[in-house]
Amino acid sequence: MIALLQRVRQAEVCVAGERVGHIGSGLLALIGVRRQDSAASAARLAERIVRYRVFADDAGRMNRSLLDTGGGLLLVPQFTLAAATDRGNRPSFAPAAPPALAEPLFAALVGHACGWQVPVQTGRFGAEMEVALTNHGPVTFWLEG
């Protein structure tokens, strides 16, 4: 599984004009699921996301995680992250997991993240979404689980 993490001051996701998820300060994570991913991948990625130290400590160093700050986590499924982009001018989505595999793995990731006792919000799997954010830093990281 892939997570594109962005440290944010705020973020929200809307579907058909309805806000379905929002957070204040915390992390927005766009999530891609690949064909080879498993339940173990979901558990590992959830742990990496909540423990990843991207928030400043008193000395101004990135030394604090969501667990330390109590910030929110907005998880948004985004199959395009799993695209192969190494050839030509058009992405191939062959590496992306089909919805029948990806949706339960995304749900497992959400469940694992909730188990870490951080406030979790989500986008809607399979929907066309509008994501708005205020990136803080900007700070953006690519994680794999």
What are the residue numbers of the active site? Answer: 78-80
What does the block give as tokens for 4?
Answer: 């594109």
Of the candidates 107, 109, 139, 145, the one whose C-alpha atom is nearest the C-alpha of residue 126 is 107
Spatial separation of the C-alpha atoms in residues 67 and 98, rounded to whole Å: 32
Of the candidates 125, 40, 110, the one whose C-alpha atom is nearest the C-alpha of residue 79 is 125
